[in-house]
Chain A
């Protein structure tokens, strides 16, 4: 057994120590704002260093955009289609919201990754607020979703000649709404991640949740064209409101008032999701 030398509160370790003194006095912890900033930067850096993630994230909305517009434009329009609106105009906001939802799932996947690779265990041993990691994940994902949405809009404008009636300002507003939906819905998936803790059930959950959410909504065809039972679901589906709002804004149609339920429902999801996420993360690993 080594005898600690009397009189040296912190015996000099072999580690070259730039600031000798009691350990805790060197760095006295960081503020929650710093934690969130540093951790968000970390997630964004991974995005830069691994652009494949961003590229794959773009595939789906781009493919959906091109497939839907090419296939459904040829099928002719249904009776309930808004007059003077092309299918591209109609479906574009839905593509943005779909991208938002996919990105939301990614927030959850990121948290599962952190649980799996031990980052959560590491961070839990540090004097930081556990929610910082979750907030950072959600913010980094917000940035990612915004980049993806920007790329999709640029592609639609340049390649498909997308030119919504509402003009640039309202298009931006509808994109902004999609980004907001990403962020709020992301909390539902972050919460799921802290409870499920494994990638597989997360993937399953996203498929199970997303297909009905997107198809039982006004995303791809007007709600009035849906069968009766799907129409009922579509009317309580928050995505219907989100898509209706985005569409009304972009196409300068009446109905932007759907923004109120869209924002309220989303905010509700974020609050409930946030609480469950923090509680879930606190559970023993």
Chain B
């Protein structure tokens, strides 16, 4: 085969790094995964969205060769998870929902231990550990035990631990659950850097904004089955609109407010119980429209909130029900 691109390079560039084809997994009578198919190409982030119990972690377990599928086929980094689990494990990193580090070893010793288990000699193991400590800003904590770390630091050590072996594919199972906003942002930036460097990431999350920010494509799981997949924009288009909720002051009240907003061409939905009015808008910039309408009618508001479509909205919408969660 002759051409500008060598066959090897072409194969590498287009590599499907994560692939599941009709993967099912049952625990007794419980069908934890129901014929799940998905794929991710090298250097992309696949977001796996779903509530607790949707099957996200089970799928991660299957893809990391920790749990054999009951049926179907899965391959990671080009190796079948059932037939070549050891080859898969050489090429993956896993950060679970809970930090998986030895609490009795220092941060550095944890990383050295993993490098040694992966086959590094003593010296390269130490070099690798120090690299990762530096990359994750953990040098100051290197000789301390993870028990003394904050939640954010521990998660960073855990992520560092999953990168020890230069993995091609990283699995992040709800990596930001329980993290404060700044640690969350910090972790997002680390993931973005990794992906820019060609690592493939599978990220499970309950948060749409996280998937939105990081994922190139999103697969939504519900009760073990894929109920939607596509880019963040495609999913949001299926869900529809954002919601502005107005709490008018007592002088105006919901009824008057509704009338004013209707006059401005909006479609308000009153919530009499809470004394609020919900308005569906296309995007965040449309808040101005609502404010202008209120201003023109001389209505004062004690509170105004804006909400993007949530995972709940996605679920409701995909389940074929009305997405009017605001009312």
- Interface residues of chain A, those whose CB is within 8 Å of chain B, are 1-19, 22-24, 26-30, 34-35, 38-39, 42, 45-46, 49-50, 117-119, 121-128, 284-285
Taking a contact as CB atoms under 8 Å apart, the answer to whether B86 and A121 are in contact is no
Chain B proximity of A280: nearest CB distance (Å): 15
With A4-B198, A28-B90, A127-B89 known as contacts, the answer to whether A11 contacts B119 (CB < 8 A) is no
Inter-chain contacts of A23 with B (CB < 8 A): 90-91, 165-168
With A4-B42, A23-B91, A38-B117 known as contacts, the answer to whether A10 contacts B198 (CB < 8 A) is yes
Taking a contact as CB atoms under 8 Å apart, the answer to whether A11 and B197 are in contact is yes
Q: Which residue of B lies closest to A49 (CB)?
A: B104
Q: Which residue of A lies closest to B120 (CB)?
A: A27
B131 at interface, CB cutoff 8 A: yes
Secondary structure of the A contact surface, majority rule: loop
With A16-B131, A23-B167, A121-B100 known as contacts, the answer to whether A30 contacts B66 (CB < 8 A) is no
Query: 25 pairs across A/B with beta carbons < 8 Å?
Result: A1-B216, A3-B43, A4-B12, A4-B43, A8-B198, A9-B12, A10-B166, A10-B168, A13-B194, A15-B194, A17-B166, A18-B127, A19-B124, A28-B90, A30-B117, A34-B117, A42-B102, A118-B96, A118-B101, A119-B100, A119-B101, A121-B100, A122-B100, A124-B66, A127-B86
Q: Which residue of A lies closest to B136 (CB)?
A: A15
With A13-B198, A14-B197 known as contacts, the answer to whether A27 contacts B115 (CB < 8 A) is yes
Please measure, in the bound complex, the distance between the C-alpha atom of A17 and the C-alpha atom of B87, giving whole angstroms. 21
Chain A proximity of B28: nearest CB distance (Å): 12
Those of B158-195 within 8 Å (CB) of chain A: 161-163, 165-168, 193-195
- The interface bits of chain B over 188-227 (1 if a CB of A lies within 8 angstroms of the residue's CB, else 0) are 0000011111110000000000000000100000000000
Taking a contact as CB atoms under 8 Å apart, the answer to whether B94 and A45 are in contact is no
Q: Which residue of A lies closest to B134 (CB)?
A: A16
B92 at interface, CB cutoff 8 A: yes
Taking a contact as CB atoms under 8 Å apart, the answer to whether B101 and A117 are in contact is yes
Inter-chain contacts of A6 with B (CB < 8 A): 5, 9-10, 12-13
Chain A proximity of B200: nearest CB distance (Å): 10
Please measure, in the bound complex, the distance between the C-alpha atom of A117 and the C-alpha atom of B322, giving whole angstroms. 43
